[in-house]
Amino acid sequence: MGHQRNARERADAGPLELAAARMTRRPPTLRLGQLTGTWATVYAERDRLEADADRDALAAWRALLGDVDLADVVALAAENPPPPGSDEQARLRRQHLQQALAAAVLARLTLLSRAPGWARFLAVLASGLAGANATGAASGDAVTSSADTVAAGQPAAPGAGEDVAAYLLAAQALKGLAATVARVLLAGAADGATSAQLAKAARGVLAEALPLTLAVATAVAVAFTAGLTSAYLAFGAGELAFITAGDTNVCATCAAAEDANPYPVASVPAPPLHPNCRCTLQPA
Ligand SMILES: [Zn+2]
């Protein structure tokens, strides 16, 4: 967990000098790691939610991997090592190979939508998003009532909106996975790897599935913010404030969003503004 948090903070880091300069002229609003009361509970809930959704999505995804067959794509990569050199022609050739391999991998991954585990994978994604929305709403209720605990979100059954969002999320994850597999195949082929080595590397990328877990974490954060905002609206909040994590890892985009507070509810920038964004909203 500590390790994961550090990785997140690094990923959230914008230009440090800029962030540091901003910090000197405006007080931080939230200090992650030193949170108390409602916000500590809300952030703990959000972290737990994200970890659960990632774990469940990864398990459902890995159950599908037995049905992936990349043998022909791996052979294609092994037979077409990218040209060395830094000239324009070599660069264009590598770019073309990357695109062709990514398209070929994506075509194989898309076949998974006919696999027995696919419906279950989509259902896991949808219920993760529904849970995030419900917990966001419960967190919004806790913030507006200054409660120390977040009432457990209803074990929300996914609606049509979540089903569509899960489908889009799966499509985005497959695209990201295909591009990552293609990059690994290309790099391996450039190093003269054998087909067996390339196949192993591709399997490793698919099993680790970083593009999937990142996409899930981002989608969960979007659903959480949507739930939070709906609770603030129900409470009657007229304006909302964009709240950064209040440390030097806050990126310039999020710091600028906080500087422009408050916002009408309809036009507030909704976190996450980027992957691994740790920002949130509260009534202004
Ligand atoms: Zn942010």
Q: What is the spatial order of strands in the sheet that 280-283 belongs to?
A: 263-264, 239-243, 280-283
Between 18 and 258, the more confident residue is 258
pLDDT tens, position by position, 221-261: 999 999 999 999 999 988 999 988 767 778 899 999 999 99
Q: Is the pLDDT of residue 15 over 70?
A: no
Report CA(210)–ligand 1 centroid distance (Å).
20
Region of residue 37 (phi > 0: left; psi between -120 and 50: alpha; otherwise: beta): left
CA 83 – ligand 1 centroid, Å: 40
284 or 122, higher pLDDT: 122
How many whole angstroms from 16 Cα to the centroid of ligand 1? 14
Residue 252 corresponds to which tokens in the numbers above? 């310039």
**Is residue 275 scored above 80 in pLDDT?**
yes
Q: How far apart are CA 169 and CA 77, in angstroms?
A: 28
C-alpha span between 276 and 82 (Å, rounded): 33
- In angstroms, what is the span from residue 20 Cα to ligand 1's centroid? 15
Every domain of the chain and the residues it spans: 1-30+237-284, 37-222
Average pLDDT, rounded, for the chain: 84
d(CA 229, CA 248): 26
The amino acid present at 10, given as its one-letter code, is R
Whether the per-residue pLDDT at 23 is higher than 80: the answer is no
Give Cβ neighbours of residue 153 (< 8 Å, ≥ 6 apart).
131, 133, 134, 135, 136, 137, 138, 227
Cα 101 to ligand 1 centroid, rounded to whole Å? 34
Percentage of the chain exceeding pLDDT 70: 83
Instruction: For residue 258, report the distance from its CA to the centre of ligand 1, in Å.
Output: 9
Distance of CA 108 from the midpoint of ligand 1 (Å) = 35
Q: Which of 19-33, 69-83, 106-120, 265-279 has the lowest mean pLDDT?
A: 19-33
3-state secondary structure of 263: strand
The answer to whether residue 115 scores a pLDDT higher than 90 is yes
Q: What was the pLDDT predicted at 84?
A: 85
How far apart (Å, rounded) are the C-alpha atoms in residues 150 and 133? 13
Average pLDDT over residues 251-275: 92
pLDDT digits (tens, 9 = 90+) for 117-156: 999 999 999 999 999 998 888 888 888 887 666 665 555 6
Q: What is the pLDDT of residue 33?
A: 57
CA distance 54 to 59: 9
Per-residue pLDDT reduced to its tens digit, 49-78: 889 999 999 999 999 998 899 999 999 999
- Measure 104 CA to ligand 1 centroid, in angstroms: 35
What pLDDT does 263 receive?
95
